[in-house]
Amino acid sequence: LGCPRPNSFGGRCSLEDWQLTNDRLYLAAESAGVAFVSTTYIENDDALGFSGMSGHSLCASGGYNHPGPAQLKAIGKALVDLFNE
């Protein structure tokens, strides 16, 4: 599983850097032959509505990069839904 999306306000990581990190993690997983799901698939601006959270609410547990229970639950549900397709 990729890195959770950081919040949209005042964070130390831009959305572009978050995307780049997940892209590199994908390439590493692919070269190692292991399963990987990028969180960009489920937390990008086009898909964010599934969680009922705004970009400002993400990773609010640490104020920057630690997802809280609501975000983790939404990510988990998206993974279950993905693998049940």
User: pLDDT for 21-51, tens place per residue?
Assistant: 999 999 999 999 998 888 888 888 887 777 7
Supply the Cα-derived Rg of the chain in whole angstroms. Answer: 13
DSSP letter assigned to residue 15: H
* Sequence spans of domains, the chain: 15-83
> What share of the chain has pLDDT > 90, as a percent?
20
Quote the mean pLDDT of the chain.
83
Which H, E and C letters describe 17-84, residue by residue? HHHHHHHHHHHHHHHHCCCCCCCHHHHCCCCHHHHCCCCCCCCECCCCCECCHHHHHHHHHHHHHHHC
The pTM of the full predicted model, rounded to 2 decimals, is 0.77
Rounded mean pLDDT, 11-24: 86
